[in-house]
Structure 1
């Protein structure tokens, strides 16, 4: 529930589309919002527990058509706790250019100057286990990946990390789009500086700080 609200506060709303999934602590599958609700609308009654064979164990309605994104990402990497899929606008626009994501900013340095993985198998829905497996392989151990013609996927060893990885990728794409619109990019961090910045700027404590900020900004958040 909090993951959805934080994503909404971070600008990832797309009406009723996009979702975050959290591994069930008992190993039964994933907790994900039920279809038909916006990120900012999620409450405890609008969650589903979906097994790793895509069966709804708790909650109402059918599973998301794209639940296989989360099921396969979390199956592929048992250390991950959370995965995110949204249709963030800057990520979609940037992916259409098919140019490398540069370390122009702290956000861009999240990827250590290595560009960002891109899932090219399809621009349609990831609606089968096979497509989910390919997406998980594309993501590998990166914090996030672009899905050209579609959106993004992100993951983390904690809920705050996964959400922040999605938010930071969108911001990095937005910054580079603005720079490219203004003219030729003349400076960015090289590989060594980008990797050093990733370690310095994005430890777990800073991801957690960003997460707490998003929760304070989330719809219905109580004033501190």
Structure 2
């Protein structure tokens, strides 16, 4: 039985699904990192409660946090970095979901201070442009002012690298935001592997990258990737249940 059938509201259930999808893609960091979905009634954001891993998220471990930073539904204090999501949603009215993770390949790549090149389909999501960087601080985004500064860096990009910290990905849908995070992490990992072998000589120019972005990453393909991640998350949960039964 999923969280929707237990009576959890739509945005809370989407937050659970997005968290599990990011976990199964390898972007978990113990109990750190979070994804938020805009509340459909304009009250704020639905976000994983602090102290739980992405893979541990379920309906009773999600909070509704107001734009004033107050927990309206759920227990405990809000995430110290809830300002990432609150200010992204405040600045961009068309965004539905924002994810922040400590994806290891993204952190490693950002430390090199080198442009992200479209050497793969994944990196074509940026249309031949480098991924923007937030370099004001490598510390926590724990104030509204830092949240605003980070949100301003996004612009029209699907995601932002946070050197010394992680990444933020955003989307007009929940599948888009999750897939933008996944594609950025995969792009960083692949370029790191290529650079370890030598100089990168072959990659799409801006024109080809823009074409590939339209070909490879329409909403339908982002949803297809999202559905795959959800199936893998369901399979991982089923395997864990079976193992417990046999322990």
User: Shorter-normalised TM-score: what interval?
Assistant: over 0.9
Q: Secondary structure at the match of 2:119?
A: coil
1:31-69 deviation line (CA, Å, top 9, x unaligned):
000000000000000000000111100100000000000
TM-score by length of 1: 0.98
Q: State the match for 2:76 in structure 1.
A: 61
Which of 98, 101, 126 is matched with 2:113 structurally?
98
1:155-188 deviation line (CA, Å, top 9, x unaligned):
0000000000000000000000000001111110
1:133-212 equivalence runs, <5 A: 133-212=148-227
Match status 1:220 vs 2:246: no
The root-mean-square deviation of aligned C-alpha atoms, in Å, is 0.9
Task: Tell me how far 1:70 sits from its aligned partner.
Answer: 0.4
Q: State the match for 2:100 in structure 1.
A: 85
Task: Tell me how far 1:3 sits from its aligned partner.
Answer: 0.3
Computing the radius of gyration over CA atoms, which structure comes out larger, 1 or 2? 2
Task: Tell me how far 1:96 sits from its aligned partner.
Answer: 0.1
Which of 45, 63, 85 is matched with 1:70 structurally?
85
- Find the aligned partners of 2:59 and 2:84 in 1 and give their Cα distance: 22
Task: Tell me how far 1:221 sits from its aligned partner.
Answer: 5.7
TM-score by length of 2: 0.89
Which of 13, 21, 25 is matched with 2:28 structurally?
13
Q: State the match for 1:22 in structure 2.
A: 37
- Find the aligned partners of 1:192 and 1:62 in 2 and give their Cα distance: 47
Q: Secondary structure at the match of 1:84?
A: strand
Match status 1:37 vs 2:52: yes
- Kept in 2, the 8 Å contact 1:28–1:51? The answer is yes
Normalized per residue, the structure richer in helix is 2
Where do 4+ consecutive residues of structure 1 move more than 6 Å? Answer: none
Structure 1 gap segments, 5+ residues each? none
Distance change in 2, residues 1:24/1:107 (3 Å): same
1:8-33 deviation line (CA, Å, top 9, x unaligned):
01110100000000000011000000
Task: Tell me how far 1:125 sits from its aligned partner.
Answer: 0.2
Task: Tell me how far 1:141 sits from its aligned partner.
Answer: 1.9
Distance change in 2, residues 1:221/1:109 (3 Å): farther
Q: State the match for 2:146 in structure 1.
A: 131
- Find the aligned partners of 1:113 and 1:216 in 2 and give their Cα distance: 31
1:84-114 deviation line (CA, Å, top 9, x unaligned):
0000000000000000000000011110111
- Find the aligned partners of 1:121 and 1:75 in 2 and give their Cα distance: 20
